[in-house]
Structure 1
Amino acid sequence: MIKPEINELLRQYVRDNLSPDEKDRTFVSNIYDSFTELLNNNCIQIGSYPRFTSIRPLHDLDILYILGQWNQYAHNPQSALSKLFESVKADYKNPTNYTVKVSLQTHSVTVAYMDGDKEIFSVDIVPAYIFSKNEFQLDTYKVPELLRKRHGNKRNEFYQQLAIQGREMGWIDSDPRGYIKVASDINKSNNDFRKSVKFVKAWANSYKEEYDDFKMKSFHIEQLITIQYKLNSNLEIFDAIFNFFLQLPDSFSRPQITDRADSTRYIDDYIKDLTQAQRDLILEARNQFLSQLESIYFDVEIEDLLQPVLYTRLPSEDFLFDRQIPTLTETTMTIEGWIQKNGNDFRRLTQQGFIDNGLKIKFRLHMGVDCDEYWWKVKNDNNCEQPRGDITVGNTKNVPEDTKYPGNHYVECYAIRDGICVAKARQNVVIKHQSKKYY
């Protein structure tokens, strides 16, 4: 599939399936407006929504309630939050058809929008104090450390943890306006930025829903992709996604992205606490994505890329992405498998590839393309005694190849030009179980 086609498919998928639609945007806008009035405009919406990177379904919203200038000796927000809590209960104008449930914690007021016993949406109003200015001359803030935690149970658990430890809530530096400014500027110059982030977030969310130990944070994803677009503002969605997954092993090797508000902290600091099993889970998901992306020419749809399947690759298997080569086919070619007899072509293998074991096959191009070189991959069934997946330049590793091990195998040929796979072809090889040997 040529690059413009796959770019458009990815963009269309994000538009149709991930981006908040007009109903979603109106819903969030009405809710936020209802609080700006209540808070006398002393507030700012934070999180992925004002950075244009939120995906459906929308669940929550964080609002900073700005209480004034930071004073390190006097910053107890409980009085202000108690007044806000009473004000919400008495005066809040609910713009939705849902019932409202209001709760007060030491460092936040939560407003939940309920349909019976089901929470549809929630807003956390969190106190903030103006602390400094960033390079854009926008305010930075001191905020409660609970903002590092996700909405809902994670924050409730954090409150409980503080109570058990007898510890007061800490305050951290935060620069939401800076992150919003950077995201807004990048998005104005190239709206593939937000689509790239949304697509990878959707991929990660599918694994989080399936595996409790999948510990990749959405904000981390966004910042990794932000770095790419800051380095190359003309990046297209395919390139951003492909590069994200290529670089994932290094991205999760150590914390390396400093917090805008505090250069002594890393926004990806959580990486160092991951277990080896959790790291392996992320890498297996990454391998699955890239192997599927490499196969999109044959039988993979865009939505297949987001399925939470793990791929435990064998040490013997190579992929083009190991060499940082994307598959962006722009033309077609065919290969043929010829069964050999006395060193000569005897019979051509059918496309279905059924063949007895104990024979020899020579693979060759039938219709080639304009390219720098041809690479060949012999992929044996993972369940056979001798699984393979080696990629070699010029021809298959063995010429001819032997049909020793029963199973569903295939041979692929890749036309490589300027570091891109511009065409590929596959020949199936299905070896029958006629003896106790395996392919």
Structure 2
Amino acid sequence: MALSDDFKIFCNRIQLDDLADMQKTTESIAKKLNSHYYGLDKESESHMYIVGSVGRKTAISGSSDLDLLFDMPSCIFKQYDNYKSNGQSALLQDVKSVLLERYSNTNISGDGQVVVIEFNKYTVELVPGFKQSDNRFKYPDTHDGGSWKITDPLSEQSECSDCNSKSFGIYYDFCHIVRSWKNTIGFKFGGLLIDTLVYNFFKDNDDFKDSSSDNYLDILKSLYKSFKNENPNQNYWLAVGSNQHVLNSNKGEFVKKAEKAYETLSDMDDSSFGINDALIDLLGSDFPKAEETVNKSARYSTVDENHNKGFNREDFIEQLVPVDIRYYLHIDCKVTQDGWRPFSLRDMLHNRYALLAHNKRLDFYIKETDCPKPYNIWWKVRNVGPEAIRRNMIRGNIMESNSEHRYEHTDFAGPHYVECYLIKNGVCVAKDRIDVPIGE
């Protein structure tokens, strides 16, 4: 099977798969708010807008957020704008109380700029806004005593749709592909920034506008090259369509990740040996293996190459829970041995020291994250290589430990690795990996 066919299968697999359910939720919320604020019974469409990645049609399977904007009556703005102090907070609390009448058993909070409704499958972030004559929206911000700000999601949606039409569907595909890359590698990369940078790429590269899936590998390599040439210290980018500021919230980590991805693919073409494996490592297990038959169930196998089950199986996080990386997570490992000074495995890898020797104690731990608690902590320890196969110790199962530490030993040679996942509301929202090279 040609690589172009593999890209087609992959793009189909990562399509947003619960849009119908999100639309039902949106209609239910709109019905309640229209009834309360407009006196419109059974009106489930008026005044409600699906915004964010779902509204721009760039969200993928596993997306954990549904962003909504409800256009409030102008009299409500006057009411809360006349507050002496933080009418914006009072507005959010009022909307929250109305929604609690409909979802009394659901966790609902109102703070910052949104009302948050935590459903089992995803979280709704609802912004109460006021539509202006230019189709932009004024919305509340409770910080620093309260203020009104402006957002322009309809222009963003329109420009994304126009770019997709001009590229014959390629724009949406690559917004989806970049999200899958972000989730697979495990780093923070905001959805609007992704859509903006992919938009800028196609705007600056007219030679790709008539491309097809036959050119997807070349486009992906060029896109990584574009990303790696961005300034990681840039404060903000101008959002697609709206030209509003999209802040650089994670020190431009995507630049470093793109540089590594580009190095992986730069010398490869459609016929290169191992190209599918390289793309699986970058984009996730939804990308077909070489010569894989079109059988979606095949990607859910948890049996290793020796067909061993149980302790030796390898689990993949995307097959256990939805993956939508929204926070950063950094893990490290303290290496100790009697008679030796402890050291950081990250420092060793950074300085390109020799392989780890046997009989060392390994304390893997969460060093830093911006993910707010509560969350569950899962770990994966993967042993690979000839010695792991000989000992029947491939490993790779995911363990729901809820501990910030994972203790191991350097028992035998091989290119092992450890991954950590943070699970919040049933979604993997942060992940990190550290290689564990053990010598003979």
TM-score by structure 2 length? 0.51
1:39-438 equivalent positions in 2, closer than 5 A: 39-40=33-34, 41-68=46-73, 74=82, 76-92=87-103, 100-105=106-111, 107-114=113-120, 120-133=121-134, 139-144=135-140, 162=143, 167-189=144-166, 190-208=168-186, 214-231=187-204, 232=206, 233-236=209-212, 238=216, 239-253=218-232, 254=234, 257-259=237-239, 266-267=245-246, 269-270=247-248, 274=251, 278=253, 281-291=256-266, 293-294=268-269, 297-301=272-276, 302-306=279-283
Counterpart of 2:124, as a letter, is V
Q: CA RMSD in A?
A: 3.6
Q: Within 1, Cα distance between the matches of 2:221 and 2:212?
A: 10
Partner of 2:6: 9
Higher RCO (CA < 8 A, seq sep 6+): 2
Give yes or no for contact 1:65–1:127 (8 Å, CA) kept in 2.
Answer: yes
Measured after TM superposition, the shift of residue 260 of structure 1 is 5.8
Measured after TM superposition, the shift of residue 177 of structure 1 is 0.3
CA distance 1:91–1:257, shift in 2 (3 Å): closer
Q: Within 2, Cα distance between the matches of 1:215 and 1:65?
A: 28
Give yes or no for contact 2:221–2:262 (8 Å, CA) kept in 1.
Answer: no
Q: Within 2, Cα distance between the matches of 1:62 and 1:225?
A: 21
Measured after TM superposition, the shift of residue 217 of structure 1 is 2.6
Q: Within 1, Cα distance between the matches of 2:265 and 2:176?
A: 17
> Secondary structure, in 3 states, of the residue corresponding to 1:61?
strand
CA distance 1:241–1:108, shift in 2 (3 Å): same
Gaps of 5+ in 1: 115-119, 134-138, 146-158, 209-213, 309-381, 385-439
Q: Within 2, Cα distance between the matches of 1:73 and 1:223?
A: 33
Partner of 2:16: 20
- Measured against aligned partners, the alpha-carbon deviations of 1:267-317 in whole angstroms (never above 9, x if no partner) come to 2x417x728xx4774255333442485586112314233269xxxxxxxxx
Q: Within 2, Cα distance between the matches of 1:106 and 1:255?
A: 22
Give yes or no for contact 2:33–2:98 (8 Å, CA) kept in 1.
Answer: no
Give yes or no for contact 1:229–1:235 (8 Å, CA) kept in 2.
Answer: no
Give yes or no for contact 1:128–1:141 (8 Å, CA) kept in 2.
Answer: yes
- Measured against aligned partners, the alpha-carbon deviations of 1:308-340 in whole angstroms (never above 9, x if no partner) come to 9xxxxxxxxxxxxxxxxxxxxxxxxxxxxxxxx
Q: Within 2, Cα distance between the matches of 1:81 and 1:215?
A: 28
CA distance 1:61–1:27, shift in 2 (3 Å): same
Gaps of 5+ in 2: 35-45, 286-351, 355-440
Give yes or no for contact 1:173–1:262 (8 Å, CA) kept in 2.
Answer: no
- Measured against aligned partners, the alpha-carbon deviations of 1:56-95 in whole angstroms (never above 9, x if no partner) come to 1121111112224577965834444333323222235x9x
Give yes or no for contact 1:51–1:179 (8 Å, CA) kept in 2.
Answer: yes
> Secondary structure, in 3 states, of the residue corresponding to 2:145?
coil
> Secondary structure, in 3 states, of the residue corresponding to 1:123?
strand
TM-score by structure 1 length? 0.51
CA distance 1:108–1:225, shift in 2 (3 Å): closer
> Secondary structure, in 3 states, of the residue corresponding to 1:19?
coil
- Measured against aligned partners, the alpha-carbon deviations of 1:339-364 in whole angstroms (never above 9, x if no partner) come to xxxxxxxxxxxxxxxxxxxxxxxxxx
Measured after TM superposition, the shift of residue 203 of structure 1 is 0.5
